[in-house]
């Protein structure tokens, strides 16, 4: 059953990824062909108007549908998926509506020449597809077949979402192994070997679907998409040889890449905060922001190539020069016949084609140093300013473009002191900037390997990634973690902070504890459910049901509401025996997909019913995880995180009191919560782990 689901996820995500690429290449392609033809006819103003207005229209459409129909579809989606896999349920993140907007919005936004990527939205798309398949349709249009809904528990859903997001990366970059590793390294909070295998199956299906579709494209039926091909940026060269003297420039590349990457994260985080303030003012402001970014981008993309000199075509070029039509490195732009504009071949192109140009070998003399610098700086800032708009937008591709420009720029500076050609420098530059922002290592290494099909480059790209990650980690965190934190999602880290070892769980348990008795009055239940927001409650048996107060187990809010709705009430407080649960099917208690479940406010009860009782015993989880109140907080966190809990009962050490002291939830382990209780813990060693910039903090 799970395998069939994984197969379906693989097929659907593979198809979506393919058609996503196809649509982007064709929409953007037609736009560029029309504009280029106008340029050839020397109608420059007209060309700019067509270019800018089509970009504007596409961006407007993407932001309108996102803002009005599914605001959850904005942005990359990777932070949300990461938080979900950590155990944070955010409503509406995985709905059918979000899926549709994400796909359409991403195609439009990427086609509109904004400097944003499609990988993040593909991950989110994959995750939504997995969720919808797992719950047998959306909440509203649910399939009637009950047997499809076998995944009504959190773990299986998380596994499916992991598979789906792995498939998303696999489809976006045609990198099955890299996608799998990215899902495991960056997204998943819990790994299991079985999960690894199932995710591998999913990405294998994606790879095979893509491979089959390429056969279709080979026959030239994909329009401007061309031949597709399984490898995106093929830089195979028969024999790359590099020696020890090539290592220092590569080290330098890694160090600077780490610094540039961490400053990227820093700036992006600041810009996102500013954008959030703007976006909170209302939908109109969101749309205006998106549109102004689009106009700004169009002006830059069209305007900056005019800065570059026209250069004569090389006589020994294997490609037609200047390029007429869609593909090809040598854009004519405003130049004379026989000349080409090197900046235009980067700017006036889709991001994919720009990367292809930057990665290509035997093009060392094609680009000018100043052009490369302009391109790098523009990409760097454009991608930072474009991410936060209200449209589906990824970060992966912009970082690859920026890194490639940076790497090629460094390669040009090093010049003939290295055996590596500039295309390889571009690949390594991408690796270093990716390492500096995303901070994953193995998965990026494999993604770059699969993107470029160059195994001999592996030792160098491993080196670059390690250095840039190490350097960048000294300054700030992973870009996705920063976004998760800025969204205020309670993400549970896997490591424990040192001060947690000095605290016991008894120190952080707060608030008045609400306890239910084994047989509880209906009015009590309704009152407690209405006055608290807790999702789990301990059930305690007291005399006469037992000799002394005994912890019976844990009952969930959702189950209590179900019981109230089903009105399984008793007139007298007497136990009903274990056969009471047989009148319910497991389906009544299963988790009802995403979004808000039933609310206590929806339950209508008469006065008479309020005075009746419920026997909670058959519906209580009798094996909750427990810790003693003297347990170290750090150890309790390890348990909470490793086992993937939502509630952890704290029981007293001595037996002369109530049998449960409190409940720990995710929020009790958040550093903000703990430091709020014990502000003097913010001292000493653990703060020294990150460099502080008191000066820059004050300025910004």
Give the tokens for residue 137.
Answer: 């349709």
**621 strand-pairing partners:** 554
Q: How far is the CB of 205 from a copy of itself (least distance, A)?
A: 9
From 287-295, 303-311, 452-460, 521-529, span contacting a copy of itself (CB under 8 A): 452-460
Site for a copy of itself contains 177 (CB under 8 A): yes
Q: How far is the CB of 473 from a copy of itself (least distance, A)?
A: 10
Question: From the list 156, 185, 364, 481, which residue makes contact with a copy of itself (rule: CB under 8 A)?
Answer: 185
Which of 51, 105, 498, 89 shows the shortest CA–CA distance to 287?
105
From 64-72, 204-212, 335-343, 393-401, span contacting a copy of itself (CB under 8 A): 204-212
Question: From the list 192, 270, 530, 690, which residue makes contact with a copy of itself (rule: CB under 8 A)?
Answer: 192
What gap in Å lies between CA 329 and CA 320, rounded to an integer? 9
Half-sphere exposure in the Cβ direction for 148 (13 Å, CA): 16
Site string for a copy of itself, 594-633 (x = CB under 8 A): ----------------------------xx-xxxx-xxx-
Site for a copy of itself contains 278 (CB under 8 A): no
Give the tokens for residue 88.
Answer: 């944070």
Half-sphere exposure in the Cβ direction for 67 (13 Å, CA): 22
What gap in Å lies between CA 296 and CA 52, rounded to an integer? 9
Q: How far is the first Cα of the chain from the last one, in angstroms, to the nearest whole number?
A: 54
Residue 344: exposure state from Cβ atoms within 10 A (0-12, 13-18, ≥19): buried
From 139-147, 411-419, 573-581, 637-645, span contacting a copy of itself (CB under 8 A): 637-645
From 351-359, 398-406, 548-556, 591-599, span contacting a copy of itself (CB under 8 A): 548-556
Give whichever of 327 and 548 is closer to a copy of itself, judged by the CB atom.
Answer: 548
Give whichever of 43 and 635 is closer to a copy of itself, judged by the CB atom.
Answer: 635
Is the previous residue joined to 544 through a cis bond, with omega within 30 degrees of 0?
yes
Q: How far is the CB of 5 from a copy of itself (least distance, A)?
A: 15
Contact between residue 376 and residue 410 where contact means Cβ atoms under 8 Å apart: no
Count of other CB atoms within 10 angstroms of residue 558:
16
Site string for a copy of itself, 550-589 (x = CB under 8 A): xx--------------------------------------
Question: From the list 144, 147, 215, 586, which residue makes contact with a copy of itself (rule: CB under 8 A)?
Answer: 215
Q: Strand, coil or helix: what is 662?
A: strand
Contact between residue 235 and residue 453 where contact means Cβ atoms under 8 Å apart: yes
Q: What is the dihedral of CA 652, 653, 655, 659, to 10 degrees?
A: 20
Give the C-alpha distances (Å, rounded to integers) separating 297 from 48, 53, 332, 379, 465. 12, 12, 21, 10, 30
Site for a copy of itself contains 358 (CB under 8 A): no
Give whichever of 93 and 206 is closer to a copy of itself, judged by the CB atom.
Answer: 206
Count of other CB atoms within 10 angstroms of residue 244:
6
The length of the chain, given as a count of residues: 700
Residue 371: exposure state from Cβ atoms within 10 A (0-12, 13-18, ≥19): buried
Give the C-alpha distances (Å, rounded to integers) separating 71 from 141, 280, 289. 20, 12, 15
Q: How far is the CB of 418 from a copy of itself (least distance, A)?
A: 16
Question: From the list 124, 469, 557, 617, which residue makes contact with a copy of itself (rule: CB under 8 A)?
Answer: 469
Which of 48, 103, 76, 60 shows the shortest CA–CA distance to 347?
48
Q: How far is the CB of 479 from a copy of itself (least distance, A)?
A: 15
Site for a copy of itself contains 449 (CB under 8 A): yes
Q: How far is the CB of 646 from a copy of itself (least distance, A)?
A: 14
What gap in Å lies between CA 102 and CA 434, rounded to an integer? 24
From 100-108, 113-121, 355-363, 646-654, span contacting a copy of itself (CB under 8 A): 646-654
Site for a copy of itself contains 207 (CB under 8 A): yes
Sites for a copy of itself among residues 500-539 (CB under 8 A): 504
Site for a copy of itself contains 660 (CB under 8 A): no
Site for a copy of itself contains 485 (CB under 8 A): no
Site for a copy of itself contains 496 (CB under 8 A): no
Strand runs labelled E in 534-647: 536-541, 550-556, 613-615, 626-628
Count of residues binding a copy of itself (CB under 8 A)? Answer: 69
Question: From the list 353, 450, 520, 668, which residue makes contact with a copy of itself (rule: CB under 8 A)?
Answer: 450
Alpha carbon of residue 203 to chain centroid: 17
- DSSP single-letter state for residue 323: B
Site for a copy of itself contains 176 (CB under 8 A): yes
Site string for a copy of itself, 427-446 (x = CB under 8 A): --------------xx--xx
Strand runs labelled E in 264-400: 310-312, 339-341
Site for a copy of itself contains 548 (CB under 8 A): yes
Summarize the chain as % helix, strand, coil (round to 5): 60, 5, 30
Q: How far is the CB of 186 from a copy of itself (least distance, A)?
A: 8
CA dihedral sign, ordered 573, 579, 582, 587: positive
Site string for a copy of itself, 222-261 (x = CB under 8 A): --------xx----x------xx-----------------
Q: How far is the CB of 617 from a copy of itself (least distance, A)?
A: 13
What gap in Å lies between CA 254 and CA 273, rounded to an integer? 29
Q: How far is the CB of 393 from a copy of itself (least distance, A)?
A: 26
Site for a copy of itself contains 654 (CB under 8 A): yes
Query: Which residues lie near a copy of itself (CB under 8 A)?
Result: 176-177, 180-181, 185, 191-194, 196-197, 200-201, 203-204, 207-208, 210-212, 215, 230-231, 236, 243-244, 441-442, 445-446, 449-450, 453, 455-456, 458-459, 462-463, 466, 469, 494-495, 504, 546-548, 550-551, 622-623, 625-628, 630-632, 635, 638-639, 642-643, 651, 653-656, 659
């Amino acid at each position: 059953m799970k395998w069939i689901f994984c197969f379906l996820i693989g097929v659907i995500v593979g198809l979506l990824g393919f058609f996503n690429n196809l649509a982007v290449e064709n929409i953007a392609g037609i736009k560029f062909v029309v504009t280029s033809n106008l340029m050839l006819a020397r109608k420059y103003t007209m060309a700019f108007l067509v270019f800018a207005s089509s970009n504007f229209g596409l961006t407007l459409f993407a932001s309108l549908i996102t803002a009005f129909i599914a605001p959850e579809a904005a942005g990359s989606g990777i932070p949300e998926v990461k938080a979900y896999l950590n155990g944070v349920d955010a409503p509406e993140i995985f709905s059918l509506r979000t899926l549709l907007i994400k796909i359409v919005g991403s195609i439009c936004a990427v086609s509109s020449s904004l400097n944003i990527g499609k990988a993040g939205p593909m991950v989110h798309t994959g995750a939504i597809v997995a969720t919808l398949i797992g719950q047998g349709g959306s909440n509203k249009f649910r399939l009637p077949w009950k047997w499809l809904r076998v995944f009504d528990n959190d773990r299986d859903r998380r596994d499916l979402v992991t598979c789906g997001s792995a498939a998303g990366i696999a489809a976006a970059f045609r990198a099955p192994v890299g996608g799998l590793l990215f899902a495991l390294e960056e997204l998943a909070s819990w790994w299991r070997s079985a999960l690894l295998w199932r995710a591998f199956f999913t990405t294998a299906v994606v790879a095979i679907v893509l491979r089959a579709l390429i056969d279709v494209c080979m026959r030239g039926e994909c329009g401007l998409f061309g031949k597709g091909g399984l490898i995106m940026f093929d830089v195979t060269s028969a024999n790359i040889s590099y020696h020890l003297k090539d290592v220092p420039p590569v080290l330098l590349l890694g160090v600077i890449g780490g610094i540039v990457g961490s400053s990227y994260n820093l700036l992006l985080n600041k810009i996102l905060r500013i954008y959030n303030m703007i976006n909170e003012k209302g939908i109109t402001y969101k749309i205006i922001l998106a549109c102004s970014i689009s106009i700004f981008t169009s002006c830059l993309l069209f305007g900056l190539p005019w800065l570059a000199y026209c250069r004569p075509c090389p006589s020994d070029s294997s490609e037609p020069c200047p390029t007429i039509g869609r593909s090809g490195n040598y854009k004519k732009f405003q130049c004379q016949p026989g000349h080409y504009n090197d900046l235009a071949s980067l700017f006036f192109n889709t991001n994919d084609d720009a990367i292809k140009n930057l990665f290509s070998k035997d093009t060392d003399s094609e680009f000018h140093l100043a052009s490369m610098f302009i391109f790098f700086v523009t990409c760097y800032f454009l991608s930072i300013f474009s991410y936060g708009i209200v449209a589906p937008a990824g970060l992966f591709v912009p970082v690859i473009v920026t890194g490639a420009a940076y790497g090629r720029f460094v390669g040009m500076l090093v010049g003939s002191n290295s055996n590596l050609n500039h295309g390889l420098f571009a690949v390594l530059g991408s690796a270093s900037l990716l390492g500096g922002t995303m901070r994953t290592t193995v998965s990026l290494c494999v993604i770059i390997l699969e993107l470029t099909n160059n195994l001999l480059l592996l030792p160098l790209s491993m080196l670059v990634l390690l250095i840039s990650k190490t350097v960048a980690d000294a300054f700030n965190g992973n870009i996705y973690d920063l976004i998760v934190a800025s969204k205020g999602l309670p993400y549970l880290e896997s490591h424990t902070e040192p001060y947690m070892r000095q605290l016991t769980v008894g120190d952080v348990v707060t608030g008045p504890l609400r306890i239910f008795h084994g047989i509880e009055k209906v009015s009590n239940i309704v009152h407690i459910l209405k006055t608290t927001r807790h999702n789990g409650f301990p059930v305690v048996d007291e005399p006469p049901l037992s000799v002394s107060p005994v912890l019976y187990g844990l009952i969930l809010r959702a189950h209590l509401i179900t019981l109230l709705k089903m009105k399984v009430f008793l007139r007298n407080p007497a136990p009903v025996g274990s056969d009471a649960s047989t009148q319910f099917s497991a389906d009544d208690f299963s988790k009802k997909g995403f979004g808000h479940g039933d609310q206590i406010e929806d339950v209508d009860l008469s006065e008479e019913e309020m005075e009746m009782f419920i026997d909670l015993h058959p519906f209580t989880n009798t094996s909750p995880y427990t810790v003693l109140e003297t347990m170290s907080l750090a150890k309790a966190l390890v348990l909470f995180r490793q086992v993937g809990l939502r509630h952890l009962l704290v029981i007293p050490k001595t037996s002369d009191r109530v049998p449960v002291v409190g409940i720990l939830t995710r929020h009790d382990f958040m550093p903000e919560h703990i430091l709020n209780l014990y502000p003097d813990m913010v001292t000493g060693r653990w703060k020294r782990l990150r460099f502080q910039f008191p000066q820059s903090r004050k300025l910004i």
